[in-house]
Structure 1
């Protein structure tokens, strides 16, 4: 059963795994001053309750044949069925119900040039009650997973520094050297980023030593990132929203970089479309969201338009289809 709120050690463990999703429990335990068994027990409880999941994914800047934000507006009562159908697709992530539950947002990563061209727009369930669709190409990411959610502030600066892994390349535009074994490896890690070497060896047909070397290579070259997915309300973050922002093209980079520095921001990217910045923020409550909009966003002089869409429910994250809507 899920607890209502994380205690200090749970918060520290979650933040530690945001920094390094495959960090040995012994290293986390040493930094936090508890036993290995305590950390392992805490992780198993959070994992079995589906509060926390570690996934191994390509970097957020990996575009393959295109990354798209789809916004679908549905007739009343129609959004949940469409969202569920989108969530079952292997090429979608972050399927969310927003704006009172009548709008769906999802990220699509096209796996082929054909998918990129058709944008999946004509492959919805028969009878889907969609009244409007907008597709915005993600041009550049200023901040995004698997970077840390900074609103937690659980670890001290010293603890965070001791747990932080070696730096990896920030941007990787294409994955060119993934053979079938690499792809099978990534498929397992997308479900469980802490899968053991034995399980990964079974999936790839490699020896455990080969798996270990390949994991290190993929991570060192920036082709594999580990991301901690967790329930935001469990750590006291109860309000999330998407912001659709417009700035003049000459101010796009400066504004995107400024937004990326905000601790409330978990995703910020330049996009095509009627707005040119897509942002997701998380806050403790609606009052904090109000303060963020009226103080921090309002202080950015180049912004000419902001549309705010509250996130009602996450249907799918990067690594897992969540409870059916």
Structure 2
């Protein structure tokens, strides 16, 4: 990370360096005891908890959970709208519980909608019936996720030195998961209730989780531990990008030779700037989301790609203007969490 200013803020940010370190710690160990989190960032448990509550209360950061890619069929829907209907289409998409995220963009499409379902027929039907008929849409093209190389749950703020982060968890390699690898497997009603509760607050106690799912504390602990151990659920610490000085999110469509797809996707996912990297259907083999400190970072980032990945071609780029919904959370103009629409089960 860049060095801080005298007031403890990174250039262009309004979240202090100590708070960025706290976010980083919670990205590594989202349910760790506050004593462990505090030790990693050099404060006591009470101070760590108090700082987190302040960030959470003003929507600057939040902890959430969701079913992992191995349980879901994911589609990325690129929508072109008549200009005066963009807001209405975006607002309608935000309200749909199977819509994971909505991004308003400047590029070859106006909206990028991330959607999840149990299988391809269900995903296609939901997109066709609930989105395709919205007034003002000129075209809608969906790319289906094939392999996930890295996503928001893998990304790290990198505000902590590696040694301090290692105190919380062992370094994680970027994930490589086939979307829907478990086929038509669905979460049981109890597991779905637990995930729904964790979506609201991923640090919820096992007693609270048991009450939300109608089971005992012991059962809640056992089931949550299994869901996490088997990789069926992802817990992540999220935050308002712009408040951390990361004002620019760019969505790239990239093409690489098939023989290099897996190695390139895995390497891209390990880059500090890459928030999501996925192999997708369609004319571009990779979709990659990149977080930068400003528009001026696009050129240097693309030069770095050209130097490190000579076979990679950038076929499309769209700059995200606004993100009204991210993994079920509703965001304001600055990216702060202001509400939540629980993600629905993968099946109707």
CA contact (8 A) 2:132 2:140 kept: no
CA distance in 1, matches of 2:251, 2:226: 35
8 A contact 1:93–1:107 mirrored in 2 = yes
Residue 13 to residue 220, structure 1, CA distance change in 2 (3 Å): same
Q: What stretches of structure 1 of length at least 5 have no aligned partner?
A: none
The CA deviation at 1:77 is 2.0
Paired residue secondary structure (1:123): helix
The answer for unaligned runs of 5 or more in structure 2 is 1-8, 336-348
Which residue of the partner structure matches residue 20 of structure 1?
Answer: 29
CA contact (8 A) 1:21 1:226 kept: yes
Tell whether the 8 Å contact from 1:15 to 1:148 is kept in structure 2 after alignment. Answer: no
Using the size of structure 1 for normalisation, the TM-score is: 0.90
* Corresponding residue for residue 246 of structure 2: 237
Equivalent residue for 1:207?
216
Does the alignment pair 1:49 with 2:58?
A: yes
Answer with 214-223 or 90-99: which moved more.
Answer: 214-223
Q: Which residue of 1 aligns with 2:311?
A: 302
Within the candidate set 68, 77, 95, 1:88 is matched to 95
What is the alpha-carbon distance in structure 1 between the residues aligned to residue 100 and residue 170 of structure 2? 26
Deviation at 1:298, TM superposition (A): 5.3
Q: Which residue of 1 aligns with 2:341?
A: none
Equivalent residues in 2 for 1:218-237 (5 A)? 218-237=227-246
Moved more, 193-202 or 153-162: 193-202
Name the counterpart of 1:123. 130
Of 252, 271, 284, 1:275 maps to: 284
Distance 2:28 2:147 in 1: 22
Change in 2 beyond 3 A, CA 1:126/1:274? closer
Decide whether the 8 Å contact of 1:171 with 1:222 is kept in 2: no
**Deviation digits for residues 116-161 of structure 1, max 9, x if unmatched?**
3425123238662111111001000111121023xx3210111110
Q: 1:157 aligns with which of 137, 162, 175?
A: 162
Change (3 A) 1:14 1:301: same
Q: Distance in 2 between matches of 1:307 and 1:127?
A: 25
**1:146 counterpart = 2:153:** yes
Shift of 1:291: 0.6
Contact (CA 8 Å) 1:79, 1:101: kept in 2 or not? no
Deviates more, 1:111-120 or 1:184-193: 111-120
2:5 aligned residue: none
- 1:26-41 counterparts in 2 under 5 A? 26-41=35-50
Q: What displacement does 1:62 show?
A: 1.9
The equivalent residue for 1:62 is 70
Distance in 2 of aligned mates of 1:307 and 1:35: 47
Contact conserved, 1:73 with 1:104, CA < 8 A, in 2?
A: yes
**What's the secondary structure of 1:293's corresponding residue?**
helix
What secondary structure does 2:167 align onto?
helix
Q: C-alpha distance in 2, partners of 1:58/1:188?
A: 12
On the 8 A contact 2:67/2:234 being kept in 1, the answer is yes
Partner deviation per Cα, 1:218-264 (whole Å, 9 max, x = no partner): 11111222111100122211111000112232332232223223211
Change (3 A) 1:114 1:296: closer
